[in-house]
């Protein structure tokens, strides 16, 4: 099964076959546990450094977490901005942070923190695709949580 949404964002102008929504540079593995707000800020900073969002988006991600937890189940949290945050999004993108020891998200451990930003309603497609990936097979999430193989994570989210 291929998720056309992610694969449709290939940059045709680069020789690299990297996906525009997710770059291998935006996958960080083996990170030391921090509190959930620091993990969200880490994801937001990476989104900003990669040109997906303005720095102001980070505050919107924190606000979203304060309003309603972004923990999605199966060891995955998907922090993102809401409402007015759309004005801070430059282009759709996501980052994947792996915390093998887990991050406490209100009594639930998140091992993957996937920061997202979607132009217009694209965030809904991104959320839906991630939910499908993490919901289909607990074994896949278990591997994603422990692997040091950035290529495996990249392929899971772009060629699954």
Would you please indicate which residues are annotated as catalytic (active-site) residues? 80
Spatial neighbors of 11 by CB under 8 A, at least 6 apart, are 18, 19, 20
Can you name the residues that pair with 76 across neighbouring β-strands?
Answer: 73, 112
The distance from CA 32 to its chain's CA centroid, rounded to whole angstroms, is 17
Concatenated DSSP letters of 13-82: TSSS--BSS--GGGEE-SPPP--HHHHHHHHHHHHHHTTSB-TTHHHHHHHHHHHS--EEETTEE-----
d(CA 134, CA 141): 6
């Amino acid at each position: 099964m291929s998720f056309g949404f992610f694969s449709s964002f290939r940059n045709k102008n680069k020789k690299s076959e990297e996906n525009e929504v997710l770059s291998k540079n935006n996958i960080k593995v083996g990170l030391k546990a921090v509190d959930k707000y620091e993990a969200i800020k880490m994801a937001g900073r990476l989104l900003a450094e990669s040109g997906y969002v303005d720095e102001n988006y980070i505050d919107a991600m924190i606000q979203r977490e304060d309003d309603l937890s972004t923990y999605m189940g199966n060891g995955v949290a998907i922090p993102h901005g809401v409402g007015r945050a759309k004005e801070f999004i430059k282009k759709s993108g996501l980052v994947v942070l792996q915390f093998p020891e887990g991050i406490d998200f209100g009594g639930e451990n998140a091992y993957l923190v996937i920061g997202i930003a979607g132009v217009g309603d694209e965030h809904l497609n991104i959320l839906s695709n991630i939910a499908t990936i993490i919901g289909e097979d607990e074994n896949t999430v278990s591997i994603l949580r422990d692997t040091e193989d950035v290529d495996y994570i990249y392929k899971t989210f772009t060629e699954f």
